[in-house]
């Protein structure tokens, strides 16, 4: 292939880090096409053959144009264009229901079980998953490969960042006047390793930023640095910052965070013979970093980081025992979402809330019937205001109304305000299929004695 234009090469590099499988760039008739490449064994000839699947192309400006998947995409694109121009799409109820069923892309029970198994432990063997679904390991392997391509599954790790010395915070920003562009905000945030996610939102605020920090002084320094030493200084704004004590779901970590975490790696030296409580070993650092990048083979982690034999396995087991690693898990990066919503619940009556607290626990883990991802990708308590924040994945237009209705019926003493995520700027959300019977909420409900709670929100 001739020398690749810089913008195309940069886009290809981004795609390679995003996709969980190998992708190839092909130069055909002056254009650059992207294919996934896998191998399979031909049973008759017993030879290995390569399988390519067209994903899309990269134009000269570095934009990735995905292949068009179906007529459903045409319907969706047409609706978005019409609505963006101020129009309204009105369809017969029967046709509307049919299209919404297509949007949901319902999966069969076997694929759903496989996705849940990968969510709970993405390092679980295909043989073990096979026993859960009554299939051979080879058949499970084929299904996983198909799901990887369909949902752009990324393998990663769920860490307890508090055990690493970093607490979670969310900043809500309201711009006084014009708002900065996506490029300006991205430039201001992408090199700041504490920032894990940022998105434009529609509602009371304009921007949401999720970040990690060691303490309040680090929080103040980070906010000051962003507001004064970046392109955002040209845009007057009001900032509301709150700590977030996470109790459900997780926020995926950017690879940049591990450059920050590197400062905590302990190296044996004369003056530092013993490791401090806040430090981690080189092998622990390597395991967390590489798992976050999607590398699931511990022997490969050993080789990549030139570690001694079994070092990564020992470090992994230790991190699991201390629950610093909660679980190796997955992200589904391509699901037919209508939108993501941010809900802020503010405590208004402590006595009323305490009496209905188990209603909140049930609401968090009560899923929407037929959904291919958990209702909430993240939930946590806040201190400013005193309450909670929920990030919800919505597949249908009325899902938000249904969630708010259930919330208000289940919980008293809290007021709910919602905002819509309109565009992601930095990072990604943790869309997956967590088994809620392993959640903190489910265990708490059992202690209350509620064994027969209904865990499904019906769409009808």
Question: Could you tell me which residue, 449 or 362, shows the higher pLDDT?
Answer: 362
Pick from 9-23, 182-196, 216-230, 281-295: least confident: 9-23
Sign of CA dihedral 317, 320, 321, 322: positive
How many whole angstroms separate alpha carbon 424 and alpha carbon 197? 8
pLDDT grade for 103, boundaries at 50, 70 and 90: very low
Percent of the chain exceeding pLDDT 90 equals 65
CA distance 125 to 169: 35
pLDDT tens, 383-435? 988 999 999 999 888 899 999 999 999 999 999 999 999 999 999 999 999 99
Instruction: Between 302 and 92, name the one with better pLDDT.
Output: 302
Task: Record the tokens describing residue 350, joined without a space.
Answer: 């402590």
How far apart CA 37 and CA 22 sit, in angstroms, is 6
Asked whether the predicted pLDDT for residue 277 surpasses 60, the reply is yes
Residue 154 near residue 18, CB atoms below 8 Å: yes
What's the half-sphere exposure (Cβ side, CA atoms, 13 Å) at 192?
27
Residue 189 has pLDDT above 80, yes or no: yes
Average pLDDT, the chain: 86
Tell me the C-alpha distance between 337 and 199, whole Å. 16
Res 442 pLDDT > 90? yes
C-alpha to C-alpha distances, 253 to 263, 331, 338, nearest whole angstrom: 17, 11, 24
362 has pLDDT over 90? yes
> What is the structure's pLDDT at 99?
47
Least confident of 37-46, 96-105, 112-121, 440-449: 96-105
CA distance 45 to 458: 50
Beta strand pairing call for 456-457 and 367-368: parallel
Give the model's pLDDT for residue 193: 97
The model's confidence at residue 47, banded by pLDDT at 50, 70 and 90, is low
Asked whether the beta carbons of 447 and 357 are under 8 A apart, the reply is no
53 in helix, strand or coil?
Answer: strand
Q: Is the pTM of this model over 0.95?
A: no
* Strand, helix or coil for residue 344: strand
Whether the Cβ atoms of residue 330 and residue 155 lie closer than 8 Å to each other = yes
Confidence of residue 335 (pLDDT cuts 50, 70, 90): confident
DSSP 242-274: EEEEEEEE--PPPTTHHHHHGGGB---BTTB-S
Residue 82 has pLDDT above 50, yes or no: yes
Read off the pLDDT band of 379 (50, 70, 90).
very high
Eight-state DSSP code of residue 161:
G
DSSP 3-state of 155: strand
Each residue of 123-164: pLDDT tens digit?
Answer: 999 999 999 999 999 999 999 999 998 899 999 999 999 999
């Amino acid at each position: 292939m001739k020398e690749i234009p810089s913008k195309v090469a940069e886009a290809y590099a981004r795609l390679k880090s995003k996709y969980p499988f190998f992708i190839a760039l092909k130069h055909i008739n002056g254009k650059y096409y992207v294919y996934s490449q896998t191998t399979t064994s031909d049973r008759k000839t017993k030879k290995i053959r390569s399988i390519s699947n067209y994903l899309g192309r990269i134009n000269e400006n570095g934009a990735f144009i995905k292949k068009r998947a179906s007529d459903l995409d045409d319907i969706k694109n047409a609706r978005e264009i019409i609505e963006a121009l101020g129009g309204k799409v009105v369809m017969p109820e029967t046709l509307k229901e049919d299209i919404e069923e297509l949007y949901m892309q319902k999966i069969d029970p076997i694929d759903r079980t496989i996705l849940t198994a990968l969510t709970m432990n993405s390092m679980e063997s295909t043989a073990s998953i096979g026993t859960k679904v009554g299939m051979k390991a080879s058949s499970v392997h084929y299904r996983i490969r198909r799901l990887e391509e369909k949902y752009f599954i990324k393998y990663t790790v769920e860490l307890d960042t508090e055990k690493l010395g970093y607490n979670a915070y969310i900043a809500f920003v309201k711009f006084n006047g014009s708002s900065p562009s996506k490029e300006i905000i991205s430039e201001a945030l992408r090199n700041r390793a504490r920032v894990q996610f940022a998105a434009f939102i529609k509602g009371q605020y304009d921007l949401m930023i999720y970040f990690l920090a060691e303490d309040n002084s680090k929080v103040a320094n980070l906010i000051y640095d962003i507001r004064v030493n970046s392109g955002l200084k040209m845009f007057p704004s009001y900032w509301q910052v709150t700590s977030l004590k996470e109790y459900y779901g997780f926020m995926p970590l950017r690879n940049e965070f591990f450059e920050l975490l590197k400062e905590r790696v302990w190296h044996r030296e004369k003056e530092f013979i013993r490791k401090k409580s806040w430090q981690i070993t080189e092998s622990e650092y390597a395991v967390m970093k590489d798992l976050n990048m999607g590398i699931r083979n511990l022997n490969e982690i050993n080789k990549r980081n030139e570690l001694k034999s079994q070092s990564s396995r020992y470090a992994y087991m230790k991190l699991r025992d201390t629950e610093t690693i909660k679980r190796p898990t997955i992200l589904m990066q391509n699901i037919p979402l209508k939108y993501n919503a941010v809900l802020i619940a503010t405590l208004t009556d402590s006595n009323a809330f305490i009496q209905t607290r188990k209603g909140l626990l049930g609401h968090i883990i009560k899923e929407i019937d037929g959904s291919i991802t958990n209702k909430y990708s993240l939930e946590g308590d806040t201190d400013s205001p005193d309450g909670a924040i929920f990030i919800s994945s919505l597949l249908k237009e009325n899902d938000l109304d249904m969630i708010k209705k259930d919330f208000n019926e289940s919980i008293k003493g809290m007021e709910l305000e919602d905002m819509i995520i309109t565009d992601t700027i930095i990072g990604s959300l943790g869309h997956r299929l967590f088994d809620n019977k392993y959640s903190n909420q489910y265990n708490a409900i059992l202690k209350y004695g509620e064994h027969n709670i209904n865990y499904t929100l019906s769409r009808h």
